[in-house]
Each structure stands twice: as C-alpha cells, then as structure tokens.
Amino acid sequence: MHVAFLFDSDDPKYNGFYGVPIRNEILGTNVLQESGRHMKVYIGDVLTFSKANDKPHYVELSEKIYFSHKFQKLDVKRIRDTYFQKTIFVWVIENITTSIANRLHEALKTNSAYLGMHGVELAFPLHLVFYRNLIGSQYRLLGDSTKIFYTMNEEDGKDHSEIDALKSLGFKEVEWEDNGARQTIFDDFDTPEHFKQVFEFKKAISPYLQEEENEASELAMLLEDLNPKLFDTLGAAVRAANRAVNEEDYAHVGLSGRRFFEKMANVLFPPQKDLFKGRKVGKSEYKNRLIAFIDASVTNSDDLLRLGKETDRLIEAMNSALHGDPDPEKIMQDFADIAILSVQLLSLDPEKSRDPYHGYNKNLESFLFDVLGIDNG
C-alpha cells in the first residue's frame, strides 16, 4: 500500500528549512531501514493553495485529500488549523505495510511537526495528482541500502552531499538511479485509468498469494519498475480474466496471457536467426527464447530447472485457456503465479530488463522529431 506521512512545514523549529530535517527525523527512527522491505519514497509539498479556485474549493480539496481513505491516524484538528495558514509537507511511501506504517507513526508521534498518516490510493484522482504527479520520487529503499532518483541523465541535478548524509543515517550502500522518463511530460502512465488497472490487478491476485495484499503491492511495484509497458499488458490480461464469464471470454484471456509472454520474451531475449543450443529462437518461438534467457542467466541447476518448468507450465496454462473453458479460480491462481515468475525473470538481469525509458519510446521519438522538424507520420 501507499501511505502519506504529513508534517507542518511551518513548525518554528524548522525556521523555514524543513525538507532535510524531516528526512532526518523519519530516517532517524531507523524503522524503514530495519524493516528490510523494498519501498519507494515520494516527497514534496501538498500544493492545494496553487490548485484551488477559491476558498471553498481549497477546503473541499483538502478534506478529500486527507480524510477520504479508510486507513488513517491523523490529528484532524491540527490539519484543519493549517488551512489557509500553513503548507503541509508529505512523505508518500509506496509498498509499505500497515505494520511498518504503524511503527513509523508511533516513532514520530512525539515530533511537534508530525500531523499523522493516512492511506493513499492512486486510482483516486486527487491522490494521484497531489501525491504523485505534483511531487517527486526521491528514494528507493531496501533495508540498509538506498538509491537516490535523478531524472533523464541530469547529472547537474545530483546533490552528492546527500550520499554522506544518508550514510550517516544508517545506510551502508547509497547509489544513484536514473528515473528515466517517469514523472515527466513523456509519461503516459500517470492517469487514473492506469492506476485503476493497478488497483484491480492487486485486488484480483492478492487472494492467491501467500502474503496477500502485501505481496500483491510489491509485485505491482516491481513489475511497474522493471517494465511499465509489460505491466500494462499483464494488468489487461488479469482484468479480462477477472471479468470472464464464458468460453469466448476465456479464449481472449488465454490470448492476452500468451501475448504477455511474447512481449516479455521480446524484452529478455529478442528474436535471433541463429540457433541457441540447438533450439530455434526466432520471433514465433517465444517460449524457447524465455528458456534460452533463463539458461543464459542462471548458473544454479536447481533454479534453472525450477524456472524452466514454471515457465513451461504457465505458458501451457494460457494455451489451455485459449482453447478451452478453464476453472476461474485456477486461471486467477495462474496469473498470480505469472506475476511472481515475471518478477523473478526480470530480476535475473535488472540492468537489461529495467529500462526506465522503454515504455515512453513513442513520446520521446515524437518529441525529437518535433524538435528536428521531421514529419514522422
């Protein structure tokens, strides 16, 4: 889940300089580091002042932003006292669990600037706008290691002093990560429709996962990170499976599932004319290409056998759906397993599979052609 942690940026102790002190107060609790959970952090001011048409609209926006989610532990009076007076500063943490959020909340309760926390749902347009599109992605956290995001190779935007600051807060490894075209004008995955699909994906597969909602949240985050275009394809297939009621519907589900495997093979092991260890790996041999990728990426024989068998099983499950009338429970379990397998395969070579520009190629090309005055129609 996503959770927003709110702070009064005008607390006198900050003297107008609040971003770094709040970072130190949150990470100084060591709650996030000790959790060992893979999370992403978005940071910024809640810009209700600049987006409100008038005073009644400002109040309406604020009330809906802060108090619409069922998961909340907020100081309601203090938040409402900020209206028209103060700026609220937020840390939105993606893929945090309720237990980690509660521990962080308890650790921050004595902080005079802390206003509480609440859940965030990006399928809700106001949360999408104010808690993602109008603030920046800042960190990827994983235990005692972290990565600091920067955008589209902007070397000048790096604050190298932050590396030492984060190490002083308990992180042993601190690196930079190119955020690519995400959260730029080229990002097509910043719409309520996209995040509604993310919401439906998590809701559909969570009952079939061992850790349910927590595992579904992590799978969605990792798949979006590694390849948002692939996630869109898988999300559409899961949505079709969740709505299927007859043989024709399930045939479409099987086709969508097979298309996902074909696209993943294109990312991980593009078609080749030459044989790979005696097997054809051309455009139509997508299963062979996935097995070839596993073969080329895994050295442990047990892992090689396990991943190969699971890939073969799930591809056959999609082919069976295409030609038959599968059990609805089984098909959803298959898609949950596909999500798990996809993260495992994409993580074998993250430098190759995590392409922060891949899903935005058309927009980037169109922009380049416009700059050069070239008609690409």
CB 38 within 8 A of CB 95: yes
Evaluate whether 147 touches 97 at the Cβ level (below 8 Å). no
Mapping DSSP onto H, E and C, the string for 180-234 reads CCCCCCCCCCCCHHHHHHHHHHHHHHHHHCCCHHHHHHHHHHHHHHHCHHHHHHH
Closest CA to 200 of 249, 245, 248, 234: 234
Please choose, from the candidates 185, 173, 184, the residue with its C-alpha nearest in 3D space to the C-alpha of residue 151: 184
Pairwise CA distance, residues 370 & 98, whole Å: 46
Query: Given the structure tokens 């993260």, which residue do they identify?
Result: 343
Burial of 168 (0-12, 13-18, 19+ CB in 10 A): exposed
Backbone φ/ψ region at 246: left (φ over 0), alpha (ψ -120 to 50), beta: beta
Note whether 195 and 220 are within 8 A (CB).
Answer: no
pLDDT of residue 371: 43
pLDDT tens per residue across span 230-252: 888 899 999 999 888 888 888 99
Dihedral sign of CA atoms 348, 178, 2, 33 in order? positive
Q: What is the pLDDT of residue 15?
A: 94
Residue reference for tokens 């004595």 = 110
The per-residue pLDDT for range 191-235, each reduced to its tens digit, is 888 888 889 999 999 999 999 999 999 988 888 877 777 888 899
In 3D, which of 150, 151, 146 has the Cα closest to residue 167? 146
pLDDT at residue 363, rounded to an integer: 46
Give this prediction's pTM: 0.83
| Tens of pLDDT, residue by residue, the chain (377 residues) | 999 999 999 999 999 999 999 999 999 999 999 999 999 999 999 999 889 999 999 999 999 999 999 999 999 999 999 999 999 999 999 999 999 999 999 999 999 999 999 999 999 999 999 999 899 889 999 889 999 988 765 666 677 889 999 999 999 999 988 766 565 555 666 788 888 888 999 999 999 999 999 999 998 888 887 777 788 889 999 999 988 888 888 899 999 999 999 989 998 899 999 999 999 999 999 999 999 999 999 989 999 999 999 999 999 999 988 887 778 899 999 999 999 999 898 888 765 555 555 554 554 345 343 444 455 55
pLDDT at 41: 97
Largest Cα separation within the chain, whole Å, is: 71
Q: In the numeric block, which tokens belong to residue 276?
A: 């790979």
* pLDDT score for 190: 73
User: What gap in Å lies between CA 231 and CA 209, rounded to an integer?
Assistant: 18
For 269, the 3-state DSSP assignment is coil
Question: 195, 128 in Cβ contact below 8 A?
Answer: yes
Q: At what angle do helices 247-268 and 301-323 cross, to 10 degrees?
A: 150
